[in-house]
Amino acid sequence: MEPRLDSLWEKTAPDRPRWSPLAEAITADVVVIGGGFTGVSAAYHLAARGVSVVLLEARTIGFGGSGRNVGLVNAGLWTPPDQVEEKIGQKVGARLNATLAEGPSVVFGLIEKHQIHCEATRQGTLHCAHSAAGLRDLEARYAQQMARRAPVRLLDAAETARCTGSDAYHGALWDGRAGTIQPLAYVQGLAREAGQLGAQIFETSSALEVCQDGESWRIRTAQGEVRTAKLIQATNAYGRDGVDPNAIVPAHYFQLATVPLPEKIRQSILAGGEGCWDTALIMSSFRLDRAGRMIFGALGNLDGSGAAVHRAWAARKLVKLFPQLKGIPLESEWTGRIAMTSTYLPRIERRGGNGISIFGYSGRGIGPGTLLGRAAANWALQTGDLPLEITGAQPENLAALRGLYYEAGAALTHFTNGRF
Ligand SMILES: Cc1cc2nc3c(=O)[nH]c(=O)nc-3n(C[C@H](O)[C@H](O)[C@H](O)COP(=O)(O)OP(=O)(O)OC[C@H]3O[C@@H](n4cnc5c(N)ncnc54)[C@H](O)[C@@H]3O)c2cc1C
């Protein structure tokens, strides 16, 4: 069953533009399939340069990971920069690291430029050490970021407790480039700007058939058709119908949001406005939204059979982290699908003669999606290099089984954690 988009973000996003389905036969210089950060950014940057671009979204803008995520706008990838260079080579890796380090500046720059109402807060993020081993990991990350002159600070346990309001952590790595947003409002706001610049955006317009016809692509939807020379597929973990499936391992991540916290409690948690996640293998995250709701998330699927285990663990964990939240009611819960790859790095794969698919952000997509969408626009216009090599299809072995393994690992950890 396809998960519904009934996130907190949907409740609190400002009025969004509604886009009609494609209901005729049209042509465009570039077609983008998928209306998340990647596809919307590609459409925005193409339209900004006067190129005729059509964006097809199967459901509504932000329906996929972009409308379900935590809203942590971090620099770079989840994989530390030295490891990125080890995995794909020093030269290409350094270029990718340098490009993606700009993620927060580009995202917050677009928000500022177009006055997108998305609760943007740039007070840094805190990567919190859940254990002594987690702190050693953060020390290594700190050294790598310092070598690249990033504005990071390593906090000890006492300072972490002062910032977060929880004494559960051994320390934290603060990154001053980063911040938080209301992610659905950001992607819908950027789509509005793309539309104003001339991008033709169609919702409820799934690409049912995508085929190459000589030099051009023909993409059929339920009521229309579009022909184009260049195709950008931006469906990440949510591909359906006629698009070639991306080789990813799906991992589910859920979030729960409380009602807005009473002022006194609110002041005791994340008073500086940072967003947080931890170093645990079965990771969790927490942040406040502008109204002061606590949003707590972790690996796991609330649309699956482990839902009760995940919910019960989250209730225990939240009060363990913040005893002052005991008895505060929850008002929303939702789940999203993360596109993992075996390298934990995004991929750009060739589609036919003149097409690419960008995917596999492995949990870090706000900055990277916005930047790779912009790079895809440059690729289509032949005005810039992509920060990653375009490859042929690289299958992920036993992807569905490995996805189940993530869920089983999360359920087992959540079942045992805090009980014994
Ligand atoms: C729960 C969760 C928490 C996360 N937290 C963070 C975070 O805090 N910070 C961060 O940086 N990243 C985070 N991420 C990762 C980030 O959200 C994703 O990497 C990012 O949203 C990917 O964007 P995208 O545009 O590539 O894909 P998506 O946003 O998934 O968009 C793909 C779109 O393609 C559409 N589509 C699919 N098939 C078709 C078709 N045939 N025709 C037309 N349209 C189609 C889908 O409906 C969907 O809207 C999180 C992800 C999840 C799931």
Mean pLDDT of all residues in 260-274: 96
Helix (H) or strand (E) holding 211: strand 209-213
- 175 CA from centroid of ligand 1 (Å): 24
- Ligand 1 first shell, C-beta below 6 A: 33-39, 56-59, 63-66, 68-72, 74, 206-207, 234-243, 253, 336-338, 361, 363-367, 369
Rounded to whole angstroms, the Cα distance separating 326 from 186 reads 32
Q: What atom in ligand 1 is closest to the CA of residue 205?
A: 43
- Work out the mean pLDDT of the chain and round it to a whole number: 94
Give the model confidence (pLDDT) of 22-42 as tens digits.
999 999 999 999 999 999 999
Q: pTM value?
A: 0.96
Helix (H) or strand (E) holding 190: helix 183-196
Rounded to whole angstroms, the Cα distance separating 135 from 91 reads 29
- 34 CA from centroid of ligand 1 (Å): 9
Nearest CA to ligand 1 atom 32: 235
- 160 CA from centroid of ligand 1 (Å): 31
Give the model confidence (pLDDT) of 245-256 as tens digits.
988 899 999 999
Provide the pLDDT for residue 396: 78
Give the model confidence (pLDDT) of 383-400 as tens digits.
888 999 999 888 877 777
Give the model confidence (pLDDT) of 154-199 as tens digits.
999 999 999 999 999 999 999 999 999 999 999 999 999 999 999 9
Nearest CA to ligand 1 atom 25: 36
- 62 CA from centroid of ligand 1 (Å): 7
In this predicted structure, the answer to whether residue 415 has a pLDDT above a threshold of 90 is no
Strands lying side by side in the sheet with 294-299: 152-156, 171-175, 125-128, 275-278, 284-288, 294-299, 249-258, 330-340
Provide the pLDDT for residue 408: 78
Rounded to whole angstroms, the Cα distance separating 53 from 203 reads 14
In this predicted structure, the answer to whether residue 5 has a pLDDT above a threshold of 70 is no
Provide the pLDDT for residue 400: 77
For the chain, give every domain's residue range.
8-124+177-416
- 339 CA from centroid of ligand 1 (Å): 8
Q: How many CB atoms lie within 10 A of CB 160?
A: 25
Provide the pLDDT for residue 125: 98
Instruction: Enumerate the H helices of 81-177 as residue ranges.
Output: 81-88, 90-101, 103-114, 132-147, 157-164
Express the helix, strand and coil content of the chain in percent, nearest 5 each.
35, 25, 40
User: Which of 3.50.50.60, 3.30.930.10, 3.30.1490.20, 3.90.550.10 is the CATH number of 8-124+177-416?
Assistant: 3.50.50.60
Mean pLDDT of all residues in 271-290: 96
Rounded to whole angstroms, the Cα distance separating 225 from 25 reads 5
Provide the pLDDT for residue 1: 52
Give the model confidence (pLDDT) of 284-310 as tens digits.
999 999 999 999 999 999 988 889 999
Rounded to whole angstroms, the Cα distance separating 36 from 45 reads 14
Cβ-based neighbours of 38, under 8 Å, separated by 6 or more: 234, 236, 358, 365, 369, 370, 372, 373, 376
Provide the pLDDT for residue 346: 96
C-alpha 353: how far from chain center? 28
Query: Which of 7, 44, 77, 236 is the pocket-test mutation for ligand 1 (most atoms within 8 Å of CB)?
Result: 236
In this predicted structure, the answer to whether residue 317 has a pLDDT above a threshold of 70 is yes
In this predicted structure, the answer to whether residue 420 has a pLDDT above a threshold of 80 is no
287 phi/psi in degrees, rounded to 5: -165, 165
Judge contact between 107 and 73, C-beta under 8 A.
yes
Provide the pLDDT for residue 419: 59
DSSP character string of 316-346:
HHHHHH-GGGTTPPEEEEEEEEEEE-TTSS-
Query: Which of 253, 310, 335, 366 is the pocket-test mutation for ligand 1 (most atoms within 8 Å of CB)?
Result: 366
Cα-Cα-Cα-Cα dihedral sign, residues 248, 412, 4, 258: negative
Mean pLDDT of all residues in 137-152: 97
Cα-Cα-Cα-Cα dihedral sign, residues 403, 409, 415, 417: negative
Distances in whole angstroms, Cα of residue 240 to Cα of each of 113, 193, 205, 233, 328: 33, 26, 12, 12, 38
Judge contact between 368 and 77, C-beta under 8 A.
yes
Provide the pLDDT for residue 266: 96
Give the model confidence (pLDDT) of 70-115 as tens digits.
999 999 999 999 999 999 999 999 999 999 999 999 999 999 999 9
In this predicted structure, the answer to whether residue 4 has a pLDDT above a threshold of 70 is no
In this predicted structure, the answer to whether residue 3 has a pLDDT above a threshold of 60 is no
Pairing of strands 53-56, 200-202: parallel
Nearest CA to ligand 1 atom 33: 34
Give the model confidence (pLDDT) of 46-70 as tens digits.
999 999 999 999 999 999 999 999 9
